[in-house]
Structure 1
Amino acid sequence: MHVARLALHDFRSYTEVDVEMGAGPIAFVGANGQGKTNLVEAVDYLARLDSHRVSSDTPLVRAGTERAIVRAEVVRQDRSALIEVEINPGRSNRARVNRSELPRVRELLGTVRTVLFSPEDLALVKGDPSDRRRFLDDHLLMQSVRQAGVKADYERTLRQRNTLLKSARGRQVDLSTLEIWDERLATLGGEITARRLVVLDEIAPHLEKRHAGVAASAAETRRQVTASYVAKTGVLHADHPRDLEGCRDLLLRSIQERRRDELDRGVSLVGPHRDDVELRIGELPAKGYASHGESWSLALALRLASFDHLRAPDQGADDPILILDDVFAELDTGRRDHLASMAEHVEQVLVTAAVAGDVPPGLRGRRFRVADGAVLDD
């Protein structure tokens, strides 16, 4: 899979830009603040209908304008498709494929698959549980578009249930109404939890292999890296059921056990929205114990493991697009060389860098200079 052409209208800093790209490594080089990341962010947005940098669509639309358009010609298995997203903050977004409008923008998901590695990925190791949950959910979205619908339904159910719990604080409530929402939350939450657990199991061997490749020292390489799902049901990764029914039943029991606490606090305390992934290097949790370099190794290994899993024969017939956003300047020589050698064999790699020297020789394919709102062949 690759993007053959990318066109933006009023997206971020760009009034209009149209870039002919193609397969192979593509490097966008320019000083900070010139719009390099905006280009790869637009490609990633087509895959996830979400930004890796901001939590809402509003900053994606150029200041003073009402909408932004991201348009791309995408080649997949030798077939080309023109896809387009119209971003309308405060209103419904719109999507088109080959100029035919889709009934729902969510139907565009699955047309483009990406794996993006950026300096913000240190949060996978050092950040909040929400960062690690998002990593799993983004990966699942690249696997199956169904995940988007299940997650949206879960979040809607969670909001409605929280509203009911909040209104019930300090008052008598009809528990039969709450039980209906319990069932709904457990059914949707059980599916999300089961899928997260299964994909974490499947990623594990890729994670161990990639970490051995990017680790900076022999001592770091010898320590086993593990990723364990930590559920608010009190059950850890190894013992948690993997089937949908088992996850649903366990979640429902946990909800019932926490009923009094939830009524007192007016919020849902159990479910995949509260879970975490515990990363360990050797015997110690990475968060709080890993050095800066070790954290980089683990974050990079996680992204590469995600990419390896998505390109496996049973996951799809083509490579996702690999996006490396301003990361080479942050990596030492060993980690840089491992990432570059792996990326050389990917159908399309999009790289951003402040200076050309940061781009490893193996990824110096087509290069664009980005400056003053323009993207020029270099």
Structure 2
Amino acid sequence: MAVEARAHAIEESRATHHLRIVRLSVADFRCYGEARIDADDRPIVLTGANGAGKTNLLEAISFLAPGRGLRRATLVEALRRQSPAGAAWAVSARIDGPAGEIVIGTGMDPEAGAASSRRIVRIDGRPAASQADLGGHLTLVWLTPQMDRLFLEGAGNRRRFLDRLVYGFHAGHAASLGAYEQAMRERSRLLKDDRWDASWLAALEEAMAGHAVAIAAARREVVGRLSAAGASATLADGPFPQADMALSGTVEGWLETMPALAAEDALKDRLAETRRLDAAIGGATEGPHRSDLAVRHRGKDMPAGQCSTGEQKALLIGIVLANARILAAERGAPPILLLDEVAAHLDRGRRAALFDEILALGAQAWLTGTDRELFADFGGRARFLGVEDARITDLG
């Protein structure tokens, strides 16, 4: 009965609309001079040897969302090494979403040359104000082999993983993060000067506090929803362990006991109190840039970092799938999933379960792997592309 109930719950949350990339085009990106992929409703499986260019295609897609992509590369690092002088990389995609079709694109500023650190964004051919605008058109979540140690390494990677999930629920979250970080950088520069402009410092700290509370509140809401989804009785017996999630941080703690405006005032006061200390360390000792995400294996009541490698991977997948289910139910379409080498460390049962969940959700997923046999359980329900030396071949 548990299996039947779980299948029914997934079917109930199945998207009524699609969010998918209809056409992906890249130019002078990583190993690709030019490449184009036309996609349909099926998941896309990219197979080929290591170094063939599979992950580069996922990275290209990841730049169509706010941030630095799945490798956190600089703009120059993503430029094709063999590109002629003055070249600039570009990625564009035709997106079919709940609001219809739209073309989005991003890349280096072609007028600034190869040393450019300026990223341009276009929405239907028109310049966008910032890369944060991408979040209103495309929701992406990715898993990479580097994230297998997410629960063991520093808090920064966990915050970025969580923020990627938050983007799907709060399109303005990327803009809040960018504005907060900009105000924090300006405050740090001002603090280097012994002759502080107190009024300007106060204005920056007020901006930081407002954005900080918005960031912390959005994160808290999404963490609460994901934990509640993980506690669903109909999904508790699934192949991926359920996760208890909690945020730790000064601002998050304040929001548990006081209104948002009071939390803003508290952070403004704290920032004013720590100016000397922050000047010495060259940063800010308080704020959502220091928060952390704690995850526990619900069934074992164990911190994720103490679980086996396979269990940690399964926990991550479970969180991503819970996020996709909520978005599918509430917004009519799940996020696009970028799953790099995700099948390599899953047993046969969990691989088949993952593929079934992707299909049940109606999610467009882009998956990579060196061995096509790992994806055999997709059968004809996925589209297979071979990648060899940056050449893409349709395998059916």
TM-score of the two chains, using structure 2 as the length reference: 0.82
String of CA shifts for 1:151-199, please: whole Å, max 9, x gaps.
111111111112233334xxx7565553333222211111111111111
CA 1:253–1:15: 2 relative to 1, 3 Å: same
How big is the shift at 1:48?
2.9
CA 1:255–1:360: 2 relative to 1, 3 Å: farther
User: How many pairs does the alignment contain?
Assistant: 363
Q: Is the 8 A contact 2:26 2:92 kept in 1?
A: yes
Among 26, 41, 44, which residue is 2:62 paired with? 44
1:270 partnered with 2:286: yes
What amino acid does structure 2 have at the position aligned with 1:14? Y
Among 50, 75, 79, which residue is 2:96 paired with? 75
How big is the shift at 1:124?
2.7
User: Match of 1:138?
Assistant: 164
Q: SS in structure 2 opposite 1:48?
A: coil
How big is the shift at 1:118?
2.2
Among 142, 145, 165, which residue is 1:119 paired with? 145
String of CA shifts for 1:60-106, please: whole Å, max 9, x gaps.
21014331111222112383223222324624333333334445454
Q: SS in structure 1 opposite 2:150?
A: helix
Q: Is the 8 A contact 2:310 2:345 kept in 1?
A: no
CA 1:303–1:121: 2 relative to 1, 3 Å: farther
Mapping of residues 113-262 of structure 1, within 5 Å: 113-168=139-194, 175-209=198-232, 212-215=237-240, 225-232=243-250, 235=253, 239=256, 241=258, 244-256=260-272, 258-259=274-275, 261-262=277-278
> Identity, % of aligned pairs?
27
CA 1:52–1:211: 2 relative to 1, 3 Å: farther
Tell me the distance in 1 between the aligned counterparts of 2:271 and 2:247. 18
How big is the shift at 1:283?
4.7
How big is the shift at 1:258?
4.1
How big is the shift at 1:200?
1.0
Among 27, 41, 48, which residue is 1:23 paired with? 41
Q: Is the 8 A contact 2:23 2:37 kept in 1?
A: yes
Moved more, 92-101 or 110-119: 92-101
User: Match of 1:377?
Assistant: 394
Tell me the distance in 1 between the aligned counterparts of 2:231 and 2:367. 25
User: Match of 2:31?
Assistant: 13
Q: Is the 8 A contact 1:86 1:93 kept in 2?
A: yes
CA 1:226–1:372: 2 relative to 1, 3 Å: same
Q: Is the 8 A contact 1:258 1:269 kept in 2?
A: yes
CA 1:116–1:267: 2 relative to 1, 3 Å: closer
CA 1:360–1:307: 2 relative to 1, 3 Å: farther
CA 1:167–1:309: 2 relative to 1, 3 Å: farther
How big is the shift at 1:329?
1.0
How big is the shift at 1:37?
1.2
Tell me the distance in 1 between the aligned counterparts of 2:282 and 2:128. 39
CA 1:177–1:13: 2 relative to 1, 3 Å: same
CA 1:106–1:176: 2 relative to 1, 3 Å: closer
CA 1:363–1:181: 2 relative to 1, 3 Å: farther
Mapping of residues 50-61 of structure 1, within 5 Å: 50-61=68-79
CA 1:271–1:370: 2 relative to 1, 3 Å: same
CA 1:102–1:362: 2 relative to 1, 3 Å: same
CA 1:250–1:342: 2 relative to 1, 3 Å: farther
What amino acid does structure 2 have at the position aligned with 1:149? A
What amino acid does structure 1 have at the position aligned with 2:311? E
Q: Is the 8 A contact 1:11 1:60 kept in 2?
A: yes
Tell me the distance in 2 between the aligned counterparts of 1:174 and 1:8. 47
Q: Is the 8 A contact 1:193 1:247 kept in 2?
A: no
User: Match of 1:218?
Assistant: none
Q: Which runs of 5+ in 2 are unaligned?
A: 1-18, 110-114
Q: Is the 8 A contact 1:117 1:327 kept in 2?
A: yes
How big is the shift at 1:208?
4.0
User: Match of 1:351?
Assistant: 367
String of CA shifts for 1:17-51, please: whole Å, max 9, x gaps.
12221111211111111011111222222133531
Tell me the distance in 1 between the aligned counterparts of 2:75 and 2:229. 33
Moved more, 122-131 or 350-359: 122-131
Tell me the distance in 2 between the aligned counterparts of 1:264 and 1:60. 35
String of CA shifts for 1:83-138, please: whole Å, max 9, x gaps.
22232462433333333444545433322222222222223312211011112222
Q: Which runs of 5+ in 1 are unaligned?
A: 216-220
String of CA shifts for 1:252-271, please: whole Å, max 9, x gaps.
34435545543554431000
User: Match of 2:319?
Assistant: 302
Q: SS in structure 2 opposite 1:18?
A: strand
CA 1:14–1:280: 2 relative to 1, 3 Å: same
Tell me the distance in 2 between the aligned counterparts of 1:43 and 1:187. 32
Q: Is the 8 A contact 2:108 2:119 kept in 1?
A: yes
